[in-house]
Amino acid sequence: MSPEQARAARNWLNISQAELATRAKVGLSTVKDYESGKRNLIANNLAAIRGALEADGIRFTGDSVAGPIVKKQT
């Protein structure tokens, strides 16, 4: 999952960076820095973010992102 894919998936779900951080149980700065390309994540943080997005119906396929048919309302 690239930073661009993470950002696209989060936007597809209409959730904030703070909400993603909470769901993934990582720091807000982790999400912000990853999405902006300021840092690479350690494997467990990357897996936590990916898992949180996938739990809401996002699928990562190669270089693309597929999401649920209906956006979640927050």
CATH number where 33 lies: 1.10.260.40
Residue 46 lies in a domain: yes
β-pair type (59-61, 64-66): antiparallel
Separation between Cα atoms, residue 46 and residue 66, nearest integer Å: 18
Give CA–CA dist 23/14, Å, rounded: 13
Domain extent, residue 45, equals 3-63
Count: domains in the chain: 1
Report the distance separating Cα 62 and Cα 24, nearest Å.
22
Q: Which residues pair with 64 in a beta bridge?
A: 61
- Give the pLDDT confidence of 3-45 residue by residue, as tens digits: 999 999 999 999 999 999 999 999 999 999 999 999 999 999 9
Average pLDDT over residues 59-65: 78
The total of other beta-carbon atoms located within 10 Å of residue 53's CB is: 26
